[in-house]
Amino acid sequence: MINELQKMINESNNIVFFGGAGVSTASGIKDFRSKDGLYNIKYPYPPEEILSHTFFLNNPEEFYKFYKDKMNTLDKLPNECHKYLVELENRGKLKGIITQNIDSLHTKAGSTNVLELHGTIYKNKCMKCGKDYSAKDVFKSKNVPKCSCGGIIKPEVVLYEEPLNEDIIYKSINLISKADMLIVAGTSLKVYPANTYINYFNGKYLVVINNEKTIADNYASLVINEDINEVFKKLHSM
């Protein structure tokens, strides 16, 4: 299967990568929906509720207890997948990355055209005056991080009940629609509306790399149910 994937990559010159939480697990970041994922960890409130816009507004103390405990990925490093995608970009084959992750590991690895559908922990803004703050400011703060003006600082990550950025949606769909190869990796394709964007793909090769089945398996050119990091490690060595 790796040889087949390599052949498809060799034949393609407009590759787009669409990734989910499974891309970052090899970097030590928990995913959401697996048996060991964040949504199966016991908290006073369900994680889906904690990570909602309403909960953030009504209970910022509990929100930040969870957020600082589980979303701090500042010390995490890019893995084989992130590194290989940089190599593909440098070869002129990879045109863009669309990610559902908020850890910015693709950018940390050196990729330049990264569309973060759900935002990033690295951007934070005061809800009162709009002043920008770093991720370190937020994660090193005591209790709820506050701006110098007294306003609450909010991470620029897309919470439940919040819309995705329309410009990023447009750019993502545009990238996918022009691709000759789309690699979908580390995502269950269960999160709406992001899971609908792959429907705009009209290219030659649709490849799915994921530990579990996805809704795209039946019409994909190639499905690899293996560890993502191992797949890209093998590609790197070829």
HEC readout, 25-76: HHHCCCCCCCCCCHHHCCCCCCHHHHCEHHHHHHCHHHHHHHHHHHCCCCCC
Any residues with CB less than 8 A from the CB of 192 and at least 6 apart, and which? none
What 8-state DSSP symbol labels residue 116?
Answer: E
Structure letter (DSSP) for residue 111: -
Active site residue 53: no
Cis check: omega of the bond before 78, within 30 degrees of 0: no
Catalytic residue among 53, 106, 118, 236: 118
Report angle CA 13, 14, 19 to the nearest 5 degrees. 125
Q: Which residues are catalytic?
A: 118
